[in-house]
Chain A
Amino acid sequence: MSAATWGLLVATFFACFVETVEATTIVMAVGFTRSWRSAMVGTASALVVLAIVTAAFGFALTRWLPESVLQLVIGGLLLIFGLQWLRKAILRSSGRKAIHDEEKIYQSGVDAARAVGSAQSGLDMFSFMVAFKGVFLEGMEVVFIVITFGLNAKDIPVAVVGAAIGVVAVLLIAVIARRPLAMIPENLLKYGVGLLLASFGTFWVIEGTGLFRAGRGSVAWPGNDLSILGLIVMWFLLTRVFIAVLGKPDTQPAQVRESETVERTAS
């Protein structure tokens, strides 16, 4: 396997690993508290919808969009995702944002599940909807990452394999541990995935600006794919500078205009 193929496999593995941790936490919270059956039906339904969306999205992207449009749009979205993750990593490292804590997210899910009363007989709609929404939201990010990385590397199967290994790994850990997945260094993983998304996103979005010139040829990077390594170094150094300069304040974390809830944990 080439270095690029390994890179694709590792990138999709870690991206899917962290997203699956979040989805699993939500499903476990409603499953343990209310109804495993309804949570599983919600999860399965979300996976079916995701499969349909993936097929339609992938087909449309490969059939109807020229390469430079793909690079521009996909690169732009990946760059936004990656920079959001890096921003959060910087804010968390400097104590300006609470560390993403699966224990807390699990507990808030449990509290919300208990607050709506006891589970209905048959299909419990609360468990179904919370599981569906959690899996669908996190799954959409996984689908997006797999399709974009796979399409740009022209190797969707490897991207799918990386993602599938990530999902299975988390599910195995969850089945063995049977408790919230707080032991996984999620914040560190997200920082690493953020670096990859930002670097690949920067590479593709700048390539894609070639759409606006005569001939619509992509902008060529010096050293071609090798410049992605330079971009990883650039984003790593920039984030380390911010983390070093900001330091860790003595006071309690000041939240930066946002809150995290079990409803929206895609962070």
Chain B
Amino acid sequence: MKALKAFGQFWYEFIIGDDWKIAAAVVIGVALTVVGLKAKILNDGALAVVAALLIAVLFSVSLIIDIRPKR
């Protein structure tokens, strides 16, 4: 059990690191891109550009949450 926990902890640290919000931003960005892909509103090129901008916005939001003034 201890070894399993250590194994899970290693992969959590390796992949998620010390800010889970970054991983969440990437997952949300990818999920919304898939929704856009399924909706077939945009062609491939436009979808790729919009998706990249969306990921940049989500990253910005995760960073703003970190640096906002604490009460």
Contact = CB atoms under 8 A, between A and B. Distances in A.
Given A202-B52, A222-B48, A227-B48, A209 B60 contact: no
B56 A206 contact: no
A221 B56 contact: no
A190 to B, nearest CB: 13
B22 A77 contact: no
B32 to A, nearest CB: 10
Interface in A54-84: 72, 76-77, 79-81, 83-84
A83 B26 contact: yes
Contacts of B15: 77, 80
Contacts of A220: 44-45, 48
A83 B25 contact: yes
Interface in B15-63: 15-19, 22-23, 25-27, 30, 33-34, 37-38, 44-45, 47-49, 51-53, 55-56, 59-60, 62-63
Interface residues of A, number: 42
A154 B44 CA distance: 23
Given A209-B33, A209-B51, A221-B48, A80 B67 contact: no
Interface stretch (A155-163, A169-177, A180-188, A230-238): A230-238
B60 A210 contact: no
Could you tell me the dominant secondary structure of chain B's interface residues? Answer: helix
Contacts of B17: 80-81, 84, 267
Contacts of A238: 56, 59-60
B18 to A, nearest CB: 4
A129 interface: no
A84 B19 contact: yes
B26 A205 contact: yes
A221 B45 CA distance: 5
Nearest to A260: B18
Chain B interface bracket (under 10, 10 to 19, 20 to 34, 35 or more): 20 to 34
Contact of A140 (B14, B22, B47, B60): B14
Contacts of A110: none
Given A80-B17, A213-B37, 12 more contacts: A76-B27, A79-B26, A80-B16, A87-B66, A137-B14, A205-B30, A206-B48, A209-B33, A209-B51, A212-B38, A222-B48, A266-B13
Interface of B: 13-19, 22-23, 25-27, 30, 33-34, 37-38, 44-45, 47-49, 51-53, 55-56, 59-60, 62-63, 66-67
21 contacts: A77-B15, A80-B15, A80-B26, A84-B18, A84-B19, A87-B19, A87-B59, A87-B63, A87-B66, A91-B67, A206-B48, A206-B52, A207-B48, A209-B51, A212-B34, A219-B37, A227-B48, A235-B56, A238-B60, A242-B63, A264-B13
Interface of A: 72, 76-77, 79-81, 83-84, 86-87, 90-91, 94, 96, 137, 140-141, 202, 205-207, 209-210, 212-213, 219-222, 227, 231, 234-235, 238, 242, 246, 256-258, 264, 266-267
Closest 7 pairs (CB-CB, A-B): A222-B45, A220-B44, A258-B18, A84-B17, A221-B48, A83-B22, A206-B51
